Amino acid sequence: MAASLDHVREVAERVAGSSGLEVVEVELQGGGKARLLRIFIDKPGGVTHEDCAAFSREVGTILDVEDAVPGGHYTLEVSSPGLDRRLHKAADYERFQGSLVRLSTFQPVNGNRHFEGRLTKFEGGKLTLDLDQAKSRKRAKEQGAGTVELELSNVEKANLVPEL
């Protein structure tokens, strides 16, 4: 399954590159006739409904022609990553410096695995969070104040925190 998902990602990135888009994430869920292929795309300034529709038409056609999703029937869903998008790679942390993030780590840091704060710096595989800027009062109380430096390799999951 991983090999076919790699091929799907390759096709999606090829289509995205020709349209000025970025593939953020590719997921294949379910089984049988209930399989869902979900592709998240983005671009500076955000994607529009038209971007998603055009990308869906083009990538869907190529995936079908290349039989990149073996097993026949699947539903293709193309979407923006949303306001609370996941951060996956180093480039995401560079791009979203200055944003509020919520993350969990594999190993505890200062006795805690869950953090929320402003991503003030990302350099050399390390990110710095200003914990004083946590949006959640409960999280602020649990994690303490000040700043914390975390290794990117220790980050299990990270998401942006919407600021409205």
Look up the CATH number of the domain holding residue 27: 3.30.300.70
Q: What is the pTM of this model?
A: 0.79
Domain that holds residue 67: 2-79
Report the domain count for the chain.
2
Q: Which amino acid is at 58?
A: E
The verdict on 32 and 11 lying in the same domain is yes
In a domain, 84, yes or no: no
CB 79 within 8 A of CB 13: no
The pLDDT averaged over each successive group of 10 residues in the chain (164 residues) is 77 95 92 87 92 96 89 89 92 94 95 93 95 79 83 97 86
pLDDT score, position 144: 74
The verdict on 96 and 72 lying in the same domain is no
The verdict on 51 and 110 lying in the same domain is no
The verdict on 112 and 156 lying in the same domain is yes
The verdict on 60 and 102 lying in the same domain is no
pLDDT score, position 3: 52
In a domain, 24, yes or no: yes
The verdict on 58 and 124 lying in the same domain is no
Indicate the pairing of strand 155-160 with strand 100-109: antiparallel
What are the CA-CA distances from residue 47 to residues 10, 19, 36, 87 (Å)? 20, 11, 21, 17
pLDDT score, position 154: 97
The verdict on 8 and 71 lying in the same domain is yes
The pair of structure tokens assigned to 41 is 């795309």
CATH number of the structural domain spanning residue 154: 2.30.30.180
What are the CA-CA distances from residue 78 to residues 10, 19, 30, 74 (Å)? 15, 14, 16, 13
Q: If DSSP codes are grouped into helix, strand and coil, which group holds residue 153?
A: helix
pLDDT score, position 143: 76
pLDDT score, position 125: 94
